[in-house]
């Protein structure tokens, strides 16, 4: 990791030497969320190359934060946090709460990669809050210069949520017209579905019951609703304190 020590007698700088290199903390965060396989970690983290992810995982293993486990029969490799990495959870919690309170909403949301967002949406849609049948939801993003601007979520009872970038060939129950800032602001608790609709930044068409219950069938960040959180305001250009 860091090739040159800070040269300071301070526990914080010792931690920084291990945790500062780019992508290190997002990798640990995604592993905290339950991702253990290389490709799942890569897709959840976002714009990281396979070579860099491999290097960071090796470094974390060297520092005793990650354990590499290989199944001798299948050859499948998984990466698991060690107790030392688990001990970082309070620090990660504190960083998340600090960001929610001190970083303006638009600054926190504008760099979200849409493909990464939609990959995460597989675990952010709550099937138990939807009708007990197949539900297909189309998400269309108004942001310019996207590689893909339309995705389809297919939710079926007893199956994991599928996210498609090709038309799945099923009847669509709900159309969600949005932007990456608008949808992410809802997921992170910086706004709500109703506020985004009222501000004309999100449009819902199709099944009325699905539209009304969207806030319920999305898994909202545990850091939403905290005192002092900076919200996306009606104009979408500034943040206000809750």
Confidence (pLDDT) at 3 = 59
Residues 6+ away with beta carbon under 8 Å from 55: none
Is 176:138 a contact under the CB 8 Å cutoff? yes
Residue 234 has pLDDT above 70, yes or no: no
* Predicted TM-score (pTM) of this structure: 0.82
Task: Please calculate the CA angle 148-151-153 and round it to the nearest 5 degrees.
Answer: 160
β-pair type (135-141, 174-178): parallel
Each residue's pLDDT tens digit, 57-69: 999 999 999 999 9
Question: How is residue 154 written in tokens?
Answer: 């297919």
Span of 27-31, 112-116, 233-237 with lowest mean pLDDT:
233-237
Strand partners, 106: none
Radius of gyration from C-alpha coordinates of the chain: 20
Phi (first) and psi of residue 64, to 5 degrees: 80, 20
Each residue's pLDDT tens digit, 113-125: 899 999 999 999 9
Question: How is residue 98 written in tokens?
Answer: 């600090």
Residue 13 has pLDDT above 90, yes or no: no
Nearest CA to 218 among 183, 170, 174?
183
Rounded distance, CA 213 to CA 208, Å?
A: 9
* Block residue for tokens 């970690």: 41
Each residue's pLDDT tens digit, 160-219: 999 999 988 999 999 999 999 999 999 999 999 999 999 999 999 999 999 999 999 999
């Amino acid at each position: 990791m860091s090739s040159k020590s800070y040269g300071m007698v301070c526990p914080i700088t010792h931690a920084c030497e291990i945790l500062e290199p780019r992508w290190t903390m997002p990798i640990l965060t995604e592993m905290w969320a339950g991702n253990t396989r290389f490709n799942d970690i890569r897709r959840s983290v976002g714009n990281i190359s396979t070579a860099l992810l491999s290097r960071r995982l090796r470094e974390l293993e060297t520092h005793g934060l990650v354990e590499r486990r290989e199944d001798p029969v299948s050859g499948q490799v998984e990466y698991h946090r060690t107790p030392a990495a688990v001990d970082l959870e309070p620090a990660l919690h504190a960083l998340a709460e600090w960001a929610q309170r001190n970083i303006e909403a638009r600054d926190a949301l504008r760099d979200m990669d849409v493909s990464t967002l939609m990959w995460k949406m597989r675990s952010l849609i709550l099937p138990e809050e939807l009708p007990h049948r197949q539900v297909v939801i189309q998400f269309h993003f108004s942001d310019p210069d996207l590689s893909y601007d339309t995705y389809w979520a297919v939710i079926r009872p007893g199956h994991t949520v599928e996210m498609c970038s090709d038309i799945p060939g099923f009847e669509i129950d709900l159309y969600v017209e949005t932007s990456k800032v608008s949808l992410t602001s809802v997921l992170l608790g910086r706004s709500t579905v109703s506020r985004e609709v009222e501000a004309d930044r999100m449009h819902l068409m199709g099944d009325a019951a699905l539209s009304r219950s969207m806030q319920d069938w999305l898994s909202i960040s545990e850091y939403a609703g905290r005192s002092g959180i900076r919200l996306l305001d009606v104009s979408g250009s500034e943040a206000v304190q809750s």
